[in-house]
């Protein structure tokens, strides 16, 4: 054990690594071990992508502390870049189109984010609402790129959809690992300092602009790849869905419900969100907005650290109870 | 030339509505340091309230204004007492208040979908579209009435804030809440009152807007962003600033229609917002809006 | 060669001249005191030297290398760090993590482990046993020491101390004063110190500069400055108060 410990960086916990590897392995073999219905198989595939998106949103919203209500802008840019490439550069493998979408989306995030991150707190968030909506309106208008309101149809590939499960899984694994590294690394500590007091952070040497720009790019890029994935999955995308305010809100909700600022929180939140959405679409499709709203209110007032905060509190209470006995 | 004057007058009339919308948002932020993301929801609620009273009870929207204002005020007070009051104050409260009030907005939106469906509505009175000649240009009566009511409302607000004890207390709390407790001002009550007034203004603005524009449950989102532009441009605590900024925004919108398709004019507001936030966060009047 | 050279530094906020053409020099191994009435511009001066505020005009040189105009984090890397008048710990990080941030980002990497540097700084100020606590669990003197440890962890050449002693009781004040002297003696760090507690400042400063309304009105050895009629008129007014009385009168630092 000590031999293993020696080559691992000190912030990497062996338990976390073990759990991570175990979960990935389990999920890898799940569809073959268990008889999953095509519906469930596809839902899990989609869930992988949403979890990854929530994790990436959280890098900016939870780790740095700048809440973005406009992340659908990058999701959409990535999706449409990937879709355009699939349609025009047919020789390109689809995952490369995702990467291209991610890169462009990341750069787009940098373009509007770099100047805007000078703003603090609510003013940044308000600006992001503006960015998201402006992107939607402008790109809907740019019909040559997005196909206007009718969107873009992609060639359907039935074999692809099945294998998207594993693409999604490994995409998520990468993003989750990056999330853990970001949180526990030197950069992560710097981000927390920025979140606490940006001026004091600069006063002790933290390169605030560089750190924020890096997170901005990474967060936007992952959202872009997620958009590309979404396009391949549905073989159809349209601007109002991709760039919608509701979509931006879904990222916020997933992270907030699960626990902003933690590594595992957005995972929990995204899972709950996806399950909730399925349930609501089936039983109470007209109530989903209100329910999201109530969830936000409840989380903010009672458990600002979301589900992961709740779990943390409960385990601590159990521990003190056990110690008291 | 006549076209220019026509557009300019349209802008002025529109600015009255915008200023009323923006003032409530600015008031709440100035006093409580909370960005009321439910502002859009209240604007939408005000429009629907007016529509309901008009279509079910036949009450003229402009006459139902006091009732809508009162209900909005009450709702704002209720919102404050049950939810907003419990938010942590200061920097920590920033993100929390955004999320909380956004949640309330989602609930209101859902309620509107359930009660009224997502279809466009408009509060249509028979006299609404009568043309009136003003300075040689033709303007519709409802826009003139809206402007008139907006002007009166803002004037009344100005008098409230400058001439009454309550108004002065509100302004004092906006400047330095801690010192206010030392001179016997019940700060929590002022917060509650201010939140109520800000909400009432949103409701009034929504009602007025509903007589001019078609609305559905998403009404208020675009308007909210316009309010931010105005508040940031015009600075806080400056009635003149708000009015001037409202005029600037309205003028930009009205004249932009000459250049870009109508549905993109909303984008104008957003782009302007982002630009203003980046380059001129202090606005042109009033205090800095940043931190 | 001087460690720090401030040349005709000025800052205007709109119509207000907060700092007016101030020039200073900090010699290697020196402790320079800066005093002046409230609103004289002392903290604004510090902010400009440290890079958190851009000067309206004038320059700052660190070992004849121009640092004015650099962002704060680059200035820290170059070797100048400041503490804040009202302490600003990172409340979401433990005491150790607070100092580690400074060690990781503020110090030019010299093969030293940030954790080791941080622990060393903490034990120097006497906070080693509180490493895993959060700042809100510390008393004021603890938080001031944390602020100091954080600054030291950036391995600076010049340290700007903004009222580290104000608000402490007489015993704590004497300990802090000793600590400052040790910083200069054992770590070869040159120090500029702003302080309201005149007794403390006069006792440890090699030289003192006096600011009033943004201008430097006097400079020299403590004993000389005290006798300068301009200084007396601007600031001291009556014969110098003793340390404890000054402590009880200072209320945590209004704007300077």
Q: How far is B137 from chain A (nearest CA, A)?
A: 32
Contact B137, B9 (CB under 8 A): yes
Buried b or exposed e, range B58-78, using 16+ CB within 10 angstroms: ebebbebbeebbebbbebbbe
Question: Would you say residue C88 lies in a domain?
Answer: no
pLDDT at residue B91, as a whole number: 53
**Above pLDDT 70, what percent of chain B?**
91
The answer on C241 and C190 residing in a single domain is yes
Contact A174, A222 (CB under 8 A): no
Q: Do A204 and C107 touch (CB under 8 A)?
A: no
Q: Do A300 and B99 touch (CB under 8 A)?
A: yes
The answer on C236 and C212 residing in a single domain is yes
The answer on C21 and C121 residing in a single domain is no
Q: Do B83 and A301 touch (CB under 8 A)?
A: yes
Name the average pLDDT for chain C: 87
CB neighbours of A100 closer than 8 A, spacing ≥ 6? A81, A82, A85, A92, A228
CB neighbours of A206 closer than 8 A, spacing ≥ 6? A190, A193, A194, C73, C101, C105, C106
pLDDT at residue A219, as a whole number: 97
The answer on C145 and C97 residing in a single domain is yes
Which residues in chain B are contacts of A290 at CB distance < 8 A?
106-107, 109-111
**Above pLDDT 90, what percent of chain B?**
33
Q: Which of C129, C152, C175 is the last residue of a domain?
A: C152
* pLDDT tens figures, A23-70: 999 999 888 888 888 888 888 999 999 999 999 999 999 999 899 999
Q: How far is B150 from chain A (nearest CA, A)?
A: 26
**Res. A282 pLDDT band, cuts 50 70 90:** confident
Q: Do B83 and A294 touch (CB under 8 A)?
A: no
Considering only CB atoms, which residues of chain C are within 8 Å of chain A? 50, 52, 71-73, 76-77, 81-82, 84, 88-93, 97, 100-102, 104-107, 114, 150-151, 153-154
Report the distance separating Cα C150 and Cα C40, nearest Å. Answer: 27
| Domain harbouring C202, CATH code | 3.40.50.300
pLDDT at residue A3, as a whole number: 64
- What is the tally of structural domains in chain C? 2
Of the candidates A65, A133, A297, the beta carbon closest to that of B225 is on: A133
Q: How far is B125 from chain A (nearest CA, A)?
A: 31
* pLDDT tens figures, A122-147: 778 888 888 898 899 889 888 888 88
Q: Do A293 and B107 touch (CB under 8 A)?
A: yes
* pLDDT tens figures, C157-186: 999 999 998 888 889 988 999 999 999 999
**Above pLDDT 90, what percent of chain A?**
44
Question: Would you say residue C254 lies in a domain?
Answer: no
Of the candidates C84, C97, C101, the beta carbon closest to that of A206 is on: C101
The residue of A300, A302, A303, A309 whose CB has the most chain B CBs within 10 angstroms, and thus the best one to mutate to test that interface, is A300
Q: Which of C136, C152, C168 is the last residue of a domain?
A: C152
The residue of C104, C110, C114, C159 whose CB has the most chain A CBs within 10 angstroms, and thus the best one to mutate to test that interface, is C104
* H or E segment and range at residue A241: helix A239-242
Report the distance separating Cα A266 and Cα B178, nearest Å. Answer: 38
Pick from A222, A289, A217: which is nearest to A250 by CA? A289
Give the nearest chain B residue to A134 (CA atoms): B267
Domains for chain A: give ranges and CATH numbers. Answer: 31-324 (1.10.3470)
The answer on C198 and C118 residing in a single domain is no
* pLDDT tens figures, A81-118: 999 999 998 888 888 999 999 999 999 999 999 988 87
Question: Is C240 a residue whose pLDDT tops 70?
Answer: no
Question: Is C72 a residue whose pLDDT tops 60?
Answer: yes
Higher pLDDT, B231 or A267: A267
Question: Is C244 a residue whose pLDDT tops 60?
Answer: no
What is the number of other CB atoms lying within 10 angstroms of the CB of residue C3? 24
Lowest-pLDDT range, A86-95, A118-127, B195-204, C132-141? A118-127
Pairing verdict, β B131-134 and C158-162: unpaired
Higher pLDDT, A18 or A126: A18
pLDDT at residue B110, as a whole number: 92
The answer on C165 and C71 residing in a single domain is yes
Query: Which one-letter DSSP state was computed for residue A37?
Result: -
Give the nearest chain A residue to B35 (CA atoms): A122
pLDDT at residue C26, as a whole number: 93
* pLDDT tens figures, C52-62: 999 999 999 99
- Ranges of each domain in chain B: 9-217
Mean pLDDT of B212-222: 87
Name the average pLDDT for chain B: 84
Q: How far is A220 from chain C (nearest CA, A)?
A: 25
pLDDT at residue B180, as a whole number: 84
Lowest-pLDDT range, A220-234, B90-104, C47-61? B90-104
The answer on C148 and C235 residing in a single domain is no
Q: How far is C248 from chain A (nearest CA, A)?
A: 28
Q: Do C100 and A189 touch (CB under 8 A)?
A: yes
ipTM of the shown complex: 0.85
Question: Would you say residue C101 lies in a domain?
Answer: yes
| The three-state (H, E, C) secondary structure of B209-226, written as one string | HHHHCCECCCCCHHHHHH
The answer on C23 and C71 residing in a single domain is yes
Q: Which of C125, C152, C179 is the last residue of a domain?
A: C152
- Expressed as residue numbers, the domain containing C21 is 2-79+156-249
Write out the two tokens for A140. Answer: 């809907």
Contact C2, C26 (CB under 8 A): yes
Mean pLDDT of C96-123: 88
Name the average pLDDT for chain A: 89
* Phi, psi (deg, nearest 5) at residue B81: -60, -40
Higher pLDDT, B275 or B77: B77
* pLDDT tens figures, B69-94: 999 999 999 999 999 888 876 655 57
Buried b or exposed e, range B216-254, using 16+ CB within 10 angstroms: bbebbbbbbbbbbbbbbbbbbbbbebbbbbbbbbbbebb
Write down the pTM of the prediction. 0.86
The answer on C66 and C13 residing in a single domain is yes
The answer on C113 and C45 residing in a single domain is no
* pLDDT tens figures, B39-58: 999 999 999 999 999 988 88
Query: Which one-letter DSSP state was computed for residue A303?
Result: -
The residue of A187, A194, A205 whose CB has the most chain C CBs within 10 angstroms, and thus the best one to mutate to test that interface, is A205
Write out the two tokens for C182. Answer: 């040790």
The answer on C42 and C18 residing in a single domain is yes
pLDDT at residue B256, as a whole number: 83
Which residues in chain A are contacts of C91 at CB distance < 8 A?
196-197
Quote the distance between the C-alpha of residue B7 and its chain's center: 22
Mean pLDDT of B214-228: 86
Total number of residues shown for chain B: 291
* pLDDT tens figures, A170-184: 999 999 999 999 998
Question: Is C249 a residue whose pLDDT tops 50?
Answer: no
| Chain B stretch 264-283, residues whose beta carbon is closer than 8 A to a beta carbon of chain A | 264, 266-267, 269-271, 273-274, 277-278, 281
Question: Is B260 a residue whose pLDDT tops 60?
Answer: yes
Size of interface A-C (CB pairs under 8 A): 76
| The three-state (H, E, C) secondary structure of chain C, written as one string | CEEEEEEEEEEEECCEEEEEEEEEEEECCCEEEEECCCCCCHHHHHHHHHCCCCCCEEEEEECCEECCCCCHHHHHHHCEEECCCCCCCCCCCCHHHHHHHHHHHHCCCCCCCHHHHHHHHHHHHCCHHHCCCCHHHCCHHHHHHHHHHHHHHCCCCEEEEECCCCCCCHHHHHHHHHHHHHHHHHHCCEEEEECCCHHHHHHHCCEEEEEECCEEEEEECHHHHHHCHHHHHHHHCCCCCCHHHHHHHCCCCCCC
pLDDT at residue C5, as a whole number: 93
């Amino acid at each position: 054990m000590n031999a293993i410990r020696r080559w691992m960086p000190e912030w990497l916990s062996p338990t976390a690594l073990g759990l991570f590897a175990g979960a990935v392995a389990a999920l890898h073999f799940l569809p073959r071990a268990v008889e999953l219905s095509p519906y469930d198989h596809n839902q899990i595939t989609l869930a992988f992508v949403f979890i990854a998106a929530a994790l990436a949103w959280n890098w900016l919203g939870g780790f740095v502390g700048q809440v973005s209500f406009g992340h659908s802008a990058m999701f959409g840019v990535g999706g449409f870049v990937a879709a355009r490439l699939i349609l025009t550069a047919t020789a390109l493998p689809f995952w490369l189109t995702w990467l291209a979408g991610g890169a462009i989306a990341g750069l787009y995030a940098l373009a509007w984010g770099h100047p805007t991150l000078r703003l603090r707190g609510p003013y940044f968030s308000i600006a992001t609402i503006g960015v998201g909506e402006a992107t939607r309106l402008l790109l809907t208008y740019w019909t040559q790129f997005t196909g206007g309101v009718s969107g873009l149809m992609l060639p359907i590939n039935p074999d692809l959809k099945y294998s998207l499960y594993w693409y999604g899984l490994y995409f998520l694994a990468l993003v989750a690992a990056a999330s853990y590294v970001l949180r526990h690394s030197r950069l992560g500590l710097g981000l927390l300092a920025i979140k606490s007091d940006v001026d004091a952070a600069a006063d002790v040497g933290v390169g605030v602009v560089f750190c924020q720009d890096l997170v901005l790019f990474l967060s936007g890029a992952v959202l872009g790849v997620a958009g590309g994935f979404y396009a391949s999955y549905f073989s159809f995308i349209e601007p109002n869905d991709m760039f919608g305010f509701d979509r931006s809100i879904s990222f916020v909700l997933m992270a907030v419900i699960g626990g902003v600022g933690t590594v595992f929180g957005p995972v929990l939140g995204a899972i709950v969100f996806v399950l909730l959405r399925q349930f609501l679409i089936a039983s109470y499709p007209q109530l989903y907005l209100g329910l999201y709203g109530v969830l936000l209110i409840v989380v903010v007032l009672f458990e600002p650290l979301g589900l992961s905060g709740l779990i943390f509190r409960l385990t601590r209470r159990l521990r003190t109870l056990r110690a008291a006995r | 030339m006549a076209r220019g004057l026509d557009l300019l007058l349209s802008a002025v009339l529109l600015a009255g509505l915008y200023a009323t919308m923006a003032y409530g948002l600015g008031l709440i932020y100035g006093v409580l340091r909370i960005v009321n993301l439910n502002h859009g929801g209240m604007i939408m609620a005000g429009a629907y309230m007016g529509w309901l009273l008009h279509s079910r009870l036949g009450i003229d929207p402009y006459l139902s204004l006091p009732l809508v204002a009162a209900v909005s005020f009450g709702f704002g007070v209720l919102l404050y007492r049950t939810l907003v009051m419990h938010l942590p104050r200061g920097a920590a409260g920033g993100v929390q208040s955004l999320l909380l009030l956004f949640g309330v907005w989602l609930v209101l939106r859902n309620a509107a979908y359930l009660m009224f469906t997502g279809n466009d509505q408009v509060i249509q009175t028979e006299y609404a579209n009568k043309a009136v000649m003003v300075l040689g240009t033709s303007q519709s009566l409802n826009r003139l009435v809206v402007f008139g009511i907006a002007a009166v409302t803002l004037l009344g607000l100005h008098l409230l804030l400058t001439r009454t004890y309550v108004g002065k207390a509100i302004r004092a709390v906006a400047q330095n809440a801690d010192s206010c407790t030392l001179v016997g001002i019940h700060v929590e009550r002022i917060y509650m009152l201010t939140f109520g007034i800000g909400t009432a203004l949103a409701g009034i603005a929504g009602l007025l807007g509903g007589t001019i524009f078609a609305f559905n449950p998403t009404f208020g989102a675009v308007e909210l962003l316009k309010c931010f532009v105005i508040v940031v441009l015009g600075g806080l605590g400056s009635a003149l600033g708000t009015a001037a900024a409202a005029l600037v925004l309205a003028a930009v919108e009205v004249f932009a229609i000459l250049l870009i398709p109508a549905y993109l004019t909303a984008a104008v507001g957003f782009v302007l917002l982002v630009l203003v936030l980046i380059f001129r966060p202090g606005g042109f009047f009033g205090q800095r809006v940043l931190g | 060669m001087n460690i720090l050279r401030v040349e005709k530094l000025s800052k205007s906020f709109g119509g207000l001249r907060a700092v007016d053409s101030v020039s200073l020099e900090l010699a290697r191994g020196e402790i320079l005191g800066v005093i002046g009435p409230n609103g004289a511009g002392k903290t604004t001066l510090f902010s400009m030297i440290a890079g958190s505020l851009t000067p309206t005009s004038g320059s700052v040189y660190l070992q004849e290398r121009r640092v004015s105009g650099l962002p704060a984090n680059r200035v820290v890397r170059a070797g100048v760090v400041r503490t804040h008048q009202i302490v600003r710990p990172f409340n979401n990080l433990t005491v150790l993590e607070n100092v580690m941030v400074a060690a990781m980002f503020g110090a030019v990497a010299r093969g030293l482990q940030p954790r080791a540097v941080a622990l060393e700084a903490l034990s120097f100020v006497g906070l080693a046993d509180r490493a895993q606590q959060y700042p809100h669990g510390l008393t004021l003197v603890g938080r001031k020491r944390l602020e100091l440890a954080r600054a030291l962890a950036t391995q600076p050449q010049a340290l700007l101390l903004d009222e580290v002693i104000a608000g402490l009781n007489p015993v704590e004040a004497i300990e802090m004063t000793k600590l400052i002297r040790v910083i200069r003696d054992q770590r070869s760090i040159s120090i500029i110190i702003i302080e309201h507690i005149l007794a403390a400042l006069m006792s440890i400063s090699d030289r003192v500069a006096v600011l009033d309304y943004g201008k430097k009105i006097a400079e020299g050895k403590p004993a000389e400055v005290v006798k300068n009629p301009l200084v007396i008129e601007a600031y001291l007014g009556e014969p110098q108060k003793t340390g404890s009385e000054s402590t009880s009168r200072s209320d945590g630092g209004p704007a300077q």
